[in-house]
Amino acid sequence: MPRVTVKPELLRWAMKRSGKTAEELSARPKLKKLMEWERKDSDAKPTFKQLEDFANATYTPFGYFFLDEPPEEKLPIPDFRTVSGNDVSHPSPNLIDTIYAMQRRQDWLRDERIECEIEPLYFVGSAGLSDDPEAAGREMRRVVGISDGWATNVRTWEEAVSRLRSEIEELGVIAVINGVVENNTGRKLDVEEFRGFAMCDSHAPLIFVNGADAKSARMFTLAHELAHIWLGESALTDVGLISKATQKIEVWCDKAAAEFLVPARELEEYWWEIRNKESPFEAIARRFKVSPIVAGRRLVDTRLVDREVFFDFYHEYIKRENRGKKGSSGGDFYNNQNTRIGKLFATQVIHAAKDGRLSFKEAYDLTGLNGGSFQEYADRLGIYLP
């Protein structure tokens, strides 16, 4: 059986990149000789099939193992994430693969809309950093079509996020919320790595929200990434809530998102009603369907409460939240596709495949669905395939 010569440093790079150890991987029957392959003084070499198994286990493109040295992987969008004020490097395979999957969707939809002679979306890049971000936040509300007090008519945070995501989709924006790489539940996205990203394009702008984050936190991320679309600035972000953002763009987007979700005028009026009641931060959170942390930060930013009061609440809230965490069943697979793919995008892909403008193989790749699951989801959307 033919063997493949692979430089040990490429094997070690792939393991480090994936966050998996040689001990962990070599426990798999097909990779039991991994430690021999990575030793420079060893003559042991993997077969093509074994190398392919290793590539799949480490989420590494197979062709990388034939390079002279490990590639320098760069994110295709600006990276504004920070941890303790420092730039973040070495994106995980899960993050990289998610961004590339979203790029494929965006590229296809852009070409589809241009071919159909659909006009560019006027609001993409309609604001600038010199504009008042709060005015931009109010304009975002107007264009999206949500009025003051809209959230009071929605029962839960989850319903509010779903409605807001749907309204954003209706504008022509691909709006995705997902906590795994496409539909692979074995590849969970890490909220400590990123909370969202925006990919700007005048014909097919895209927003991605990390669904691994708390349900109540997703609302702010959605609004923050929408602000990036308004600026016309693509970005990968961790969304500043507790510590203030340092980059000018992130500061602007934070302010626009805050006004979009919790208008200062409406907040101030409500604050004077409930400021002396028990749990006022939670009361604001329920009214505006944001997390109590977002509510508290908004009160600080509008100078209605002191930072010390907010941080006392924050530390206590985090303790309670950690104590109350429970596992999730994951929900219905096909209902999840409404947020992982989006009804609007999925409908366009399915119709293109049905009409012969797109192969079914390409449609499977764009949606992350295959065969029977693609057919079933189409049926649930009311599109019946031959």
Contact yes or no for 203/120 (Cβ under 8 A) = yes
Residues 210 and 252 in one domain: yes
Residue type, 44: A
76 belongs to a structural domain: no
Nearest CA-CA partner of 168 in 74, 257, 280, 95: 257
Whether residue 386 is contained in a domain is answered as no
16 with 61, same domain? Answer: yes
Q: Which is it for the CA torsion 356, 361, 362, 363, positive or negative?
A: positive
Determine contact, residues 202/108, Cβ cutoff 8 Å.
no
Q: Does 190 fall in a domain?
A: yes
Distance (Å, rounded) from C-alpha 103 to C-alpha 118? 20
Residue 172 domain flag: yes
| 309 in the same domain as 235 | no
The pLDDT value given to residue 52: 94
pLDDT at site 39: 84
Q: Of the candidates 32, 66, 100, which is a domain's last residue?
A: 66
Q: What is the pLDDT of residue 327?
A: 53
What single letter denotes the amino acid at residue 359?
A: S
Domain boundary among 207, 232, 261: 261
**111 and 256: one domain?**
yes
Q: Are residues 60 and 186 in the same domain?
A: no
Q: How many domains does the chain have?
A: 4
pLDDT for 322: 61
In a domain, 93, yes or no: yes
Say how far apart CA 65 and CA 49 lie, in whole Å.
Answer: 13
My answer on whether 126 and 35 are in the same domain is: no
Q: State the virtual CA torsion across 347, 351, 352, 358 in degrees, nearest 10.
A: 100
Residue 281 sits in the same domain as residue 242:
no
40 shares a domain with 107: no
Radius of gyration of the chain (CA): 23
Please report which helix (H) or strand (E) contains residue 206, including its range.
Answer: strand 206-210
Flag whether 328 is in a domain.
Answer: no
Q: What is the pLDDT of residue 321?
A: 65
If asked whether residues 193 and 123 sit together in one domain, one would say: yes
Q: Positive or negative, the Cα torsion across 327, 328, 329, 330? A: negative
Residues of the chain with pLDDT under 70: 1, 82-89, 216, 239-246, 321-330
Which domain-ending residue is among 261, 278, 301? 261
Q: Residues 6 or more apart from 213 whose CB is under 8 A from it?
A: 179, 191, 195, 221
| Cα angle 9-15-19, degrees, rounded to a multiple of 5 | 145
CA distances from 105 to 28, 75, 172, 175, 362 (A): 34, 17, 13, 11, 10
Give the structural domain span for 23: 8-66
Is residue 196 in some structural domain? yes
Q: Would residue 355 count as lying in a domain?
A: yes
For residues 127 and 45, membership in a common domain is answered with no
pLDDT for the residue 246: 60
